[in-house]
């Protein structure tokens, strides 16, 4: 079964509003989670690394004030898209390391965000 | 940083035939190479992986080979079935170095009846 749960699976919002996406690790503790963004027919692009109890590390070109990441517990990381615009419409996917540092990465089922 | 190239971008095979997807990476420090299958509207699913101390790994109809010298690794699917149709991504990572995956550009595999 799924080891990483993501919610919601899809969301439609109006321009200017904020949307929160949750990523939960099931049956294990994840000190590190990753957030990816995927445009249609393209590969996954890493947005940020979410560290439990500390600030997220953002990749170059990703606005940290627009994509707020909170990793308040060992099983939950959240991504909030603030003041969403149509260009933020995308597929957002989280992942977590299952086990020790050399363990495989497992992905959630993604969230399809559409901003109208 | 790491750069992963993947070929082909699309691959169409007849049911029962084999499919091969190839990737190259640039950073010789990369030591872990997972392969993911992504179905439409879903997140990537890990299907097989290989570490740099191994040259080949097999799991039923799926196998992965690694050539560290040439910095190549490949996914082999034998006896393909329609349910194998999906997008496949290779990836490379330096474990312990932040565990940030670098993905290939993906291969759309279509298995035709």
- C-alpha span between A68 and A9 (Å, rounded): 19
What is the pLDDT, as a whole number, of residue B74? 98
- C-alpha span between B37 and B84 (Å, rounded): 9
What is the pLDDT, as a whole number, of residue A101? 64
Contact (CB<8Å) A46/B101: yes
Q: Please say whether the beta carbons of B62 and B20 come within 8 A.
A: no
Residues of A in contact with B36 (CB under 8 A): 107
Contact (CB<8Å) B49/A97: no
Number of residues written out for chain A: 116
Question: Please, what are the averages of pLDDT over each run of 10 residues along chain A (116 residues)?
Answer: 88 97 88 92 92 89 94 91 96 86 83 97
What is the pLDDT, as a whole number, of residue A98? 74
A107 touching B, CB under 8 A?
A: yes
Edge-first strand order for the sheet with B4-7 is: B4-7, B19-25, B72-77, B62-67, B56-59
What region, left, alpha or beta, does residue A87 occupy, with left being phi > 0 and alpha being psi -120 to 50 degrees?
alpha
Residues of B in contact with A79 (CB under 8 A): none
Q: What is the per-residue pLDDT across B18-66, written as a single tens digit (0 to 9) for each?
A: 999 999 999 999 999 999 999 999 999 999 999 988 899 999 999 999 9
Residues facing residue A92 across a β-bridge: A37, A111
Residues of A in contact with B100 (CB under 8 A): 34, 46, 49
Q: What is the per-residue pLDDT across B62-92, written as a single tens digit (0 to 9) for each?
A: 999 999 999 999 999 999 999 999 999 999 9
Q: Please say whether the beta carbons of B59 and B74 come within 8 A.
A: no
Q: Which residues of B touch A (CB under 8 A)?
A: 32, 34, 36, 41-46, 49, 89, 93, 95-96, 98-101, 103-106
Residues of A in contact with B103 (CB under 8 A): 43-44
**What DSSP string describes A9-52?**
SEEEE-TT--EEEEEEESSS--SEEEEEEE-TTS-EEEEEEEET
What is the pLDDT, as a whole number, of residue B40? 92
Q: Give the β-pairing of B102-103 and B86-92.
A: antiparallel
> Given a cut of 70, is residue B97 above it in pLDDT?
no
- C-alpha span between B49 and A51 (Å, rounded): 25
CB neighbours of A52 closer than 8 A, spacing ≥ 6? A30, A31, A32, A71, A72, A73, A74, A77
> How far away is chain B from the Cα of A8, in angstroms, using its nearest Cα?
12
């Amino acid at each position: 079964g799924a080891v990483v749960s993501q919610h919601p699976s899809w969301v439609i919002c109006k321009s200017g509003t904020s949307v929160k996406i949750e990523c939960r690790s099931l049956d294990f503790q994840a000190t590190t989670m990753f957030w990816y963004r995927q445009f249609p027919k393209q590969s996954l692009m890493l947005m940020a690394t979410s560290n439990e109890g500390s600030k997220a590390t953002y990749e170059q070109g990703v606005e940290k004030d627009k994509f707020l990441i909170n990793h308040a517990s060992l099983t939950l990381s959240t991504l909030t898209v603030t003041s969403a615009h149509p260009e933020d419409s995308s597929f957002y996917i989280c992942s977590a390391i299952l086990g020790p540092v050399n363990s495989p990465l497992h992905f959630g089922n993604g969230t399809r965000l559409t901003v109208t | 940083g790491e750069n992963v190239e993947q070929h082909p971008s699309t691959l169409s095979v007849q049911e029962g035939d084999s499919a091969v997807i190839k990737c190259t990476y640039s950073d010789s420090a990369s030591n872990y190479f997972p392969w993911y299958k992504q179905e439409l509207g879903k997140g990537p699913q890990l299907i097989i992986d290989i570490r740099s101390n191994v040259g080949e790994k097999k799991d039923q109809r799926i196998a992965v080979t690694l050539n560290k010298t040439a910095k190549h690794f490949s996914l082999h699917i034998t006896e393909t079935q329609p349910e194998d149709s999906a997008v496949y991504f290779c990836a490379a990572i330096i474990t312990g170095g932040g565990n940030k995956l670098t993905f290939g550009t993906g291969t759309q595999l279509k298995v035709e009846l």
